[in-house]
Structure 1
Amino acid sequence: MVDAVIQDSEYNRFSKGIFSWVGFHTKWLAYENVERSAGETKWSFWKLFKYSIEGILAYTTVPLYLSSVMGILMCGVSFIALVFIVIRALLYGDPAAGWPSLVCIITLLGGLILLALGIMGLYIAKIYLETKKRQIFIVREER
């Protein structure tokens, strides 16, 4: 496992992700967590939060997929709302002329922009993952 981690040529290393990514069997040791006898931790809430975001960005593209899905959902909802507004205006007249359709059109355009950004982000993420030059596979043991 040590050799596999050392062979990883990434510049920005997220150690907790690398250790699980290499895929070797792990053994968990149970221990009792005790309070520090001296000093205070240097990890504030915001430092831990930034560290977690770094881990998410280093090993997953799920946020980009979520952005694309949110764009599709926004487009779908705004399209359905536009159809509803048009049908309601044709059948009953338009009590608030222009405002609901304007909101739906803005939401539709926002959804399209979010979808386009998600797709471009996925392409850029693939390029980013390729530039990391991670190993395709790691041999656990040789015979």
Structure 2
Amino acid sequence: MIPRNPDAKDLISLVVPFYNESEVADEFFREVSLVLRNIAQADYEIVCVNDGSTDATLDHLLAACAADPRVKVIDLSRNFGKEAAMTAGIDAAMGDAVIPFDADLQDPPEAIPAMIEKWREGFDVVLGKRAERQTDTYAKRSTAALFYRVHNAISDIKIPVNAGDFRLMSRSAVDALKQLPENRRFMKGLFAWIGFRTTEIEYSRRPRAAGKTKFSGWKLWNFALEGMTSFSTLPLRIWTYVGGVIAAFAMLYSAYLILRTLIRGVDIPGYASIITAVLFLGGVQLIGIGVIGEYIGRMYVEAKRRPVYIIRKIYQKDDL
């Protein structure tokens, strides 16, 4: 591991997706700018991505951009989702180190200097690992833990537990990430897939500074499905085993019926047992078709090769 030159002045890029975050935007810039200004031997840029906000978020971003030349605002043409907005910001970031960051300030900006210190020691990726998640509800903590267990059990790519999008990536890691062509992007998995020398720092997550989360239970469920189907084919393969088990039981049951008929004669067929078997097998088949459909749907989206995002306009201080 080769340490970086301690006399070099580094450019740090903070990439921040914004979606209806007008309540927290001003506090975000106050806290983040204070931390970034005090990092030794470094300059910085804040790449803000307005992901189709319908409130006054863009106005707050443009005001910050007009006041600070180190703030860049990328205004997307509509709401493309956090993963696409993060991709847009990472694509536009010019820094030697790039840090995806949430606008709600639950991940503390004070952890950024520790990440930069680790990066300067020679690591390409520095994960921000949540030491505890007491600010989340019990249901969210439980379902998150279940997701990590299931995903890492069925996928060859292991996602670090309790590590979100908050991390530092070197320019080499960012350039590798930008080579991945997926349209449907599960960023936690893509971050893990590229590899590179990785370490982590722990931090305590804070309550949201203002506003409300934009992720409902339904969105989180779909996000989990996206993650599991993006990096594993086991959900498809498992239906081969399910079919084999059912076929084996069917063969055993048919052998039992033949023997019973030879010994006791022919019984009157039972309607209840027939309809139960038909409904059970029909349900199993529909579940299997649904899993196949999830993969076919993703193939359909990828085959169209639409862009991940569309930029309406990029704002910098000189343009305002």
- Per-residue Cα deviation, 1:27-60 (whole angstroms, up to 9, x for no partner): 2221112222311111111101100101111111
Q: How far apart in 2 are the matches of 1:12 and 1:24?
A: 23
- Match of residue 37, structure 1, among 188, 209, 226: 209
Shift of 1:65: 0.7
Q: Tell me the secondary structure at the aligned position of residue 252 of structure 2.
A: helix
- Match of residue 226, structure 2, among 54, 63, 87: 54
Matched, 1:72 2:244: yes
The answer to whether the 8 A contact 1:17-1:59 is kept is yes
Q: Determine the structure 2 residue equivalent to 1:141.
A: none
Q: Determine the structure 1 residue equivalent to 2:177.
A: 5
**Which segments of 5 or more consecutive residues in structure 1 lack a partner in the other structure?**
133-143
- Higher relative helix content: 1
Q: Root-mean-square deviation (CA), in Å? A: 3.1
The answer to whether the 8 A contact 1:5-1:19 is kept is yes
Higher relative contact order (CA 8 A, sep 6+): 1
Q: Tell me the secondary structure at the aligned position of residue 7 of structure 1.
A: coil
The answer to whether the 8 A contact 1:78-1:105 is kept is no
Q: Tell me the secondary structure at the aligned position of residue 203 of structure 2.
A: coil
- Higher relative strand content: 2
**Which segments of 5 or more consecutive residues in structure 2 lack a partner in the other structure?**
1-172, 304-320
The answer to whether the 8 A contact 1:82-1:101 is kept is no
TM-score between the two structures when normalised by the length of structure 2: 0.32
- Per-residue Cα deviation, 1:78-115 (whole angstroms, up to 9, x for no partner): 111111111111112234436599579859xx59x95x
Shift of 1:21: 0.9
TM-score between the two structures when normalised by the length of structure 1: 0.67
